[in-house]
């Protein structure tokens, strides 16, 4: 059973409450750079579905391209379609509470200006981050200043997880995120149509202000500017640190990113920690029990709201069952000896779930979510010793090509499988050929064409983006991300700043080097010891005064300046000042445009 294309309920809900749109809907940075173009997505998704787009994805892209300022219910408004995520604004006694200020400051500022144009020039009285992903906090400096004294609210452990994802592994995630979001593709029938979860990620200024109030437990109640909220913490669902919350005076439920109008990711294609489908389902069940029966509307930080108590209960229930079914049936089959790939290949969804649009895999997919569940429980190894110690791609490619009778024979076989319609195996063979002989034009041509056809057929927007960016990069340049996590530095703890340095140490070059530093921070009255030993930069808080090569007395701001190359003015140093140069000299910079589909 497939969902009904004649059902226009989602279109009615996506347009409901529209107050105004940006005219033109093109958002620019101070230097004139366009950081987001909502008009482009709206224009690209007009009319009938072209042959180069999956019809189900075309429908979803039309929905996510709808943009503007919308009323959710009296006193609650949303900015939608001006970034990957939504920004929600809740009117208080004197100001407005901002929930999830988008990816970049430029988009958040434009959204807030649109709201104020139609609802009055209310000051921001509080900012809430629903969870630790960059599209829910990155634009905070577009709604408040860096030195703001308004409360910043987030779930417990928010900062730890925001840093681990966006700073520690940020280089790789941002690069893979180019494939995930398709932000380097042209918008249109042969390019990106968004990410399924929203149109696309903006390319503006990313920042972070550390939370001043943690939400630590379910049932915690807080009031900001007269707005009452009851919180439900949901760790390990869509993010390691996440929360839903209820507005009792509005009979409105915010579901963060835990229930949206698509099947979400249990492991994003850009990379992340594997999420817990079982707990995700249980937290949705808890949200129904705690809040749904007293709610008139449920909204999230992506997509459009669901109105009506019965309707929102049905929506959350179907989302609950979606994640539970994926979890339980994957476990059932892995305990029968099937691997993740085998389970995913023939995984059938219940007809009743398949018949509703919001269970479809526009951002996640059944295929890669099933493999994620397998990975969560059993890891990367499938138990077959033949797969325990496989060759890396270039060495493997060379051997496959040799086994097939040479590069020309391998390319011919890839072409043969493509012509037979087996694009998946054609891509596998062509990739082996490219990694074996990167200069072979025929191998590159076959791989590019096959990846493009796989993209055109994908219902999942992130699959489409991955395939099409891959196709472009087979014969074209690689791309560095326009999004940077550098603006998050001021919000990091001292430990996180030192971690960011430690993961850049080139271990083999540092094997024989030793160094020690005692850092004293006058603004926080904290002391840390740092040791370079066996290629590892160790650091920890200390109250001891053991001898060190160098003792540095400074503030956290001066540390950030020092690591950025600002010099040592105002910093007290006692000992060998070359110690810092030794440590920094053993670091390496990440490659923001590393190759993925080619060697």
Please say whether the beta carbons of 518 and 548 come within 8 A. yes
Grade residue 480 by pLDDT with cuts at 50, 70 and 90.
confident
User: Which residue from 263, 301, 325 is spatially nearest to 133, judged by alpha carbons?
Assistant: 301
The helix or strand, by DSSP H or E, that contains position 88, with its residue range, turns out to be strand 87-91
**Contacts made by residues 219-227, CB under 8 angstroms, sequence distance 24+:** 222/153, 224/92, 224/97, 224/125, 224/126, 224/151, 224/153, 225/92, 225/93, 225/94, 225/95, 225/96, 225/97, 225/125, 225/126, 226/92, 226/93, 226/94, 227/90, 227/91, 227/92, 227/97, 227/126
pLDDT tens digits for range 239-259: 999 999 999 999 999 999 999
Give mean pLDDT, residues 415-441: 98
The CA distance from 577 to 297, in Å, is 61
Please say whether the beta carbons of 199 and 64 come within 8 A. yes
Q: What is the DSSP letter of 329?
A: H
The CA distance from 345 to 119, in Å, is 51
Using DSSP's 3-state secondary structure scheme, residue 143 falls into: coil
The reported pTM is 0.96
Weakest-pLDDT range from 267-271, 280-284, 564-568, 594-598: 564-568
Give mean pLDDT, residues 442-460: 98
pLDDT number for residue 354: 96
pLDDT number for residue 395: 98
User: Which residue from 534, 541, 531, 540 is spatially nearest to 583, judged by alpha carbons?
Assistant: 531
Please say whether the beta carbons of 244 and 256 come within 8 A. yes
Give mean pLDDT, residues 520-541: 97
Please say whether the beta carbons of 266 and 364 come within 8 A. yes
**Alpha helix segments (H runs only) across 48-91:** 55-64
**Alpha helix segments (H runs only) across 302-406:** 309-334, 340-345, 351-354, 366-378, 393-404
% of the chain beyond a pLDDT of 70: 99
Tokens of residue 184, six digits: 């380097």
pLDDT tens digits for range 115-173: 999 999 999 999 999 999 999 999 999 999 999 999 999 999 999 898 877 778 888 99
Mean pLDDT across the chain? 96
SS3 per residue for 4-19: CCCCCHHHHHHHCCEE
Helices 366-378, 309-334: inter-axial angle, 10-degree rounding = 60
- Statement: residue 490 has pLDDT above 90: no
pLDDT number for residue 1: 55
The CA distance from 373 to 274, in Å, is 8
The CA distance from 319 to 344, in Å, is 19
- Statement: residue 504 has pLDDT above 70: yes
Beta-carbon-side half-sphere exposure of residue 490 (alpha carbons within 13 Å): 9
Phi-psi region at 157: left, alpha or beta (left = phi > 0; alpha = psi -120 to 50): left
Identity of the highest mean pLDDT range in 140-154, 168-182, 557-571: 140-154
Please say whether the beta carbons of 473 and 596 come within 8 A. yes
Q: Strand 152-155 vs strand 213-215: parallel, antiparallel, or unpaired? A: parallel
Give mean pLDDT, residues 416-425: 98
Q: Which domains does the chain have, with CATH numbers?
A: 326-385 (1.25.40.880), 493-585 (3.30.1050.10)
Using DSSP's 3-state secondary structure scheme, residue 553 falls into: strand
The CA distance from 150 to 144, in Å, is 8
Weakest-pLDDT range from 215-219, 359-363, 382-386, 560-564: 560-564
């Amino acid at each position: 059973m497939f969902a009904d294309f004649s059902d226009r309920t989602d279109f009615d809900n996506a347009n409901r409450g529209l107050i105004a749109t940006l005219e033109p809907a093109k958002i620019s940075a101070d230097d004139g750079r366009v950081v987001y173009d909502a008009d482009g997505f709206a224009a690209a998704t007009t009319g009938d579905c072209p042959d180069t787009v999956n019809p189900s994805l075309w429908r979803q892209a039309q929905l996510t391209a709808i943009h503007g300022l919308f009323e959710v219910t009296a006193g609650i408004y949303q900015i939608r379609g001006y970034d990957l995520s939504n920004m929600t604004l809740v009117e208080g006694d004197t100001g407005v509470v901002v929930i999830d200020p988008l990816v970049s400051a430029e988009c958040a500022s434009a959204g807030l200006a649109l709201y104020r144009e139609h609802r009055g020039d209310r000051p921001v009285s509080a900012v809430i981050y629903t969870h630790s992903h960059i599209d829910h906090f990155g634009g905070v400096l577009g709604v408040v200043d860096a030195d703001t004294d308004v409360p910043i609210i987030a779930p417990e452990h928010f900062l730890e997880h925001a840093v681990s994802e966006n700073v520690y592994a940020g280089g790789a995630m941002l690069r893979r995120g180019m494939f995930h979001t398709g932000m380097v593709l042209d918008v249109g029938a042969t390019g990106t149509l968004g990410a399924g979860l929203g149109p696309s990620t903006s390319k503006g200024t990313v920042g972070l202000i550390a939370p001043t109030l943690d939400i630590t437990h379910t049932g915690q109640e807080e009031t900001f500017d007269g707005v009452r909220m009851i919180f439900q913490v949901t760790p390990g669902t869509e993010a390691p640190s996440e929360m839903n919350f209820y507005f009792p005076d509005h009979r409105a439920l915010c579901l963060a990113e835990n229930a949206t109008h698509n099947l979400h990711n249990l492991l994003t294609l850009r990379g992340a920690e594997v999420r817990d489908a079982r707990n995700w389902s249980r937290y949705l069940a808890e949200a129904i029990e705690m809040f749904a029966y007293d709610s008139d509307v449920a909204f999230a930080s992506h997509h459009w709201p669901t109105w009506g108590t019965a309707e929102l209960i049905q929506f959350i229930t179907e989302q609950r069952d979606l994640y539970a079914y994926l979890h339980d049936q994957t476990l059932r089959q892995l305990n029968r000896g099937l691997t993740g790939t085998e389970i995913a290949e023939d995984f059938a969804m219940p007809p009743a779930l398949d018949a509703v649009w919001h269970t479809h895999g526009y951002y996640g997919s059944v295929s890669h979510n099933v493999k994620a569940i397998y990975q969560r429980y059993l890891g990367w190894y499938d138990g077959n010793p033949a797969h325990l110690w496989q060759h890396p791609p270039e060495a493997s490619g060379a051997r496959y090509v040799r086994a097939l009778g040479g590069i020309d024979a391998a390319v011919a076989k890839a072409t043969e499988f493509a012509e037979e319609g087996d694009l998946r195996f054609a891509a596998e063979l062509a990739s082996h050929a490219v990694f074996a002989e990167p200069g072979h034009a025929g191998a590159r041509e076959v791989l590019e064409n096959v990846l493009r056809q796989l993209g055109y057929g994908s219902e999942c927007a992130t699959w489409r983006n991955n395939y099409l960016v891959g196709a472009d990069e087979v014969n074209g340049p690689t791309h560095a991300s326009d999004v940077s996590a550098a603006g998050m530095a001021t919000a990091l703890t001292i430990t996180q700043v030192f971690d960011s340095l430690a993961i850049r140490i080139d271990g083999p070059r540092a094997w024989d080097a030793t160094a020690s530093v005692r850092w004293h921070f006058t603004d926080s009255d904290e002391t840390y010891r740092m040791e370079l030993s066996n290629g590892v930069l160790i650091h920890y808080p200390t109250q001891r005064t053991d001898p060190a090569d160098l003792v540095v007395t400074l503030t956290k701001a001066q540390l950030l300046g020092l690591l950025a190359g600002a010099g040592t003015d105002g910093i007290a140093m006692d000992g060998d000042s070359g110690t810092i140069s030794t440590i920094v000299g053993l670091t390496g910079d990440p490659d923001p445009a590393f190759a993925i589909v080619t060697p």
